[in-house]
Amino acid sequence: MKNGYLAVVPALLLALGAGYWAGKTGSGAGEAMPPTAAVGTIVAADAAAKKPRKLLYYRNPMGLPDTSPVPKKDSMGMDYIAVYEGEDDAASAPGEVKISTEKVQKLGVKIEAASLRELARQVTAAGRVEIDERRVHNVAPKFEGWVERLHVNATGQPVGKGQPLFEVYSPELVSAQREYVVAAKGVAAMKDAGAEMQSGMRQLAEASLSRLRNWDISEEQIKALAAGGEAKRTLTFRSPAGGFVIEKKAVTGMRFMPGEMLYQIADVSSVWVLADVFERDIAQLKAGQKVKVAINAYPDKSFSGTVAYIYPTLKAETRTVPVRIELANPGGLLKPAMYASVELAVGGSAKVVTVPVSAVIDSGTRQVVLIQKAAGRFEPRQVKLGARSDDHVEVREGIVEGDMVVVAANFLIDAESNLKAALSGLAPADAAPAAKSVSHKAAGTLEAIDLKGGVVTMTHGPVASLKWPAMTMDFILANPSLVDKVKAGAAIDIEFVERKPGEWVITKLDARAK
C-alpha cells in the first residue's frame, strides 16, 4: 500500500506541472503550442546556418594567378588566402570584385565618401636674401681727375642720401666752372647792350651750365657759382641714395678716367628673397601672392612679402624654379645672403570633388580609385586628377560627390581585382565578355626571349585600347610554352592583360608572316 502511494505522488505532481504550463501559455498568450513540425524546421534551419562553408582553393596573397588545393606560402613567406564557395563568383561588371564581409573586416578596409572641399596647402621653399638690383647705384665721374680726399673710406659703411663721399680735382672741371662764372658775369654786364649780344651771352652761360650739370655737379654748387662765387679747385661727390657701400675702389691720390666706378651704394630699405620652388608646385604660383618669410637669424619674427616675378628658367640639377619675392626691410635686419624659409599658401577658393590621397592607386600609366558599389562589392574606377593638398586630391573625372571610395587596404582589393582580370584573360576566346574587356592586342617584332625569367622583349606598334604609342618593352609570359614555336626576330601578334599595376602578361602569342 505504501509503495502504490509513492508511485502515484510523482505522477500527480507531473500532471499538475503540465497543466499549469499549458494554462500559462495557452490562456496568457492566446496562442496554441507550436506544432512539432515547426519546431523541427527551426532546428533544421539553425543546423544549416552552422553548416561549414566549402573550401574551394587557396590563392596567392599578392594577386598573382597562382592557386593551390592545400595551404602554402609564397616566396616572401606570406600565407595563401583561403577561397570558399560563393567567394569566387564572377563580378557583375568588368574588373568588379566581391569580398566577404568577414574578409573586408580582416583586411581593415576603410570607406569614405568623395566630398566637395577647398584645396589649400602650404608650399615651402628654401631661399636667400638678395639686394634689390634696382636699388644699386654706381658713383662714376664723367670726367678725368684725381681723388683728393675720401669722406667714406670703408666697404660696408652706411651712408645717407646726399652724404659726401669724396672730393676730386680735375682741370676740366675747374675750366668749366670758370667759363660759367665769366658767362654769368657777362650776362649781368650786358643788361644795357643790344638784344642780339644779350642773347649770345645767355646762350654761352647756358651751355657752360649744361656742361656742369652733365658732369653731375650738384645744384647747390651751381647756385653758388651763379651767385658770383669763385670756381673751386675740388668738387665734392655725394651719395645718390641711402644704404651702405658694397664696393669701394676710390683711394686717396688715385687718378680716374671718365666712367670709372669708384663707389657702389646699395639701398636695402627693400630687399629680394630668391626662393627655389620645386617644379611640381610652380604651376600654382602667380605674381601678387602673399608670402610668409622666416629668417633663421630671427626665429621670433615673421616677415611678409609678395611674389614679384617667376623666372622663366629651370635649374636642371635641383628641378626648381627661382621665384623673386619682394619685402620691406625695416631697420635693415635682413642682410644679403641670409638663408630664408618661404611659405606660400596655394589652392583655389572654389570647392571641388576630392578624395583622400591614400584612395588613389597610381600605376604610372593610369590612376585608379576603388568604389564600393554595395556591401562587399568593389569596382576599380579610372580617374583624372587635378590639384593636390597635403591630404586630399581633386578628382576631375571618374567619380562624383558622394561616391564611397576605399581609403585603406585598397591595394589588397586591387590585387584581387587584377587576379580576376588576369584569370579572365587566360580564358578561351568564347569565354565571358568580361574577359575581352580587360585584354589588349598588339602586333610587332619579337626582339629577345628570356625563358629563365619568363620574359620576352617586343617592339610593338600603337595599342589603341591603352592609348600607347609604338615602343619596345618587356612582357611576362603567362606560360613559357607560348614561345615554343617562335624565335627572336619573328613577327608576332599578342594578347595581353595587366596582372597588377605596371605588370603586363602575354596570354596569347601567334607568329605571323612578315
Is-same-fold flag (123-132+268-346; 439-511)?
no
Express each pLDDT in 164-218 by its tens digit.
999 999 888 888 888 877 777 777 777 767 677 777 777 887 887 888 888 877 7
Does pLDDT of 17 surpass 60? Answer: no
pLDDT of residue 42: 37
Looking at residue 305, its amino acid is: G
Lowest mean pLDDT among 46-55, 210-219, 317-326, 499-508: 46-55
pLDDT of residue 325: 95
Pairing of strands 471-477, 503-511: parallel
Domain 102-119+350-420 has CATH 4.10.910.10: no
Instruction: Please compute the mean of the pLDDT values over residues 422-444 and round it to a whole number.
Output: 56
Residue 486 and residue 492 in contact, taking contact as beta carbons nearer than 8 Å: yes
d(CA 58, CA 69): 6
Residue 460: Cβ-neighbour burial (10 angstroms; 0-12, 13-18, 19+): buried
Does pLDDT of 158 surpass 90? Answer: yes
Instruction: Please compute the mean of the pLDDT values over residues 2-7 and round it to a whole number.
Output: 42
d(CA 407, CA 370): 8
Express each pLDDT in 40-62 by its tens digit.
333 344 444 456 777 877 877 65
Residue 498: Cβ-neighbour burial (10 angstroms; 0-12, 13-18, 19+): buried
Average confidence score pLDDT of the chain: 78
Does pLDDT of 243 surpass 80? Answer: yes
pLDDT of residue 372: 87
d(CA 381, CA 413): 13
d(CA 221, CA 96): 91
Lowest mean pLDDT among 63-67, 346-350, 364-368, 471-475: 63-67
Residue extents of the structural domains in the chain = 2-49, 102-119+350-420, 123-132+268-346, 141-260, 439-511
Domain 439-511 has CATH 2.40.50.320: yes
d(CA 258, CA 145): 8
Instruction: Please compute the mean of the pLDDT values over residues 98-105 and round it to a whole number.
Output: 74
Backbone CA torsion sign across 138, 141, 146, 147: negative
Q: Which fold has domain 123-132+268-346?
A: Elongation Factor Tu (Ef-tu); domain 3 (2.40.30)
Q: What value, to the nearest 5°, has the Cα angle with vertex 332 and ends 329 and 334? A: 70
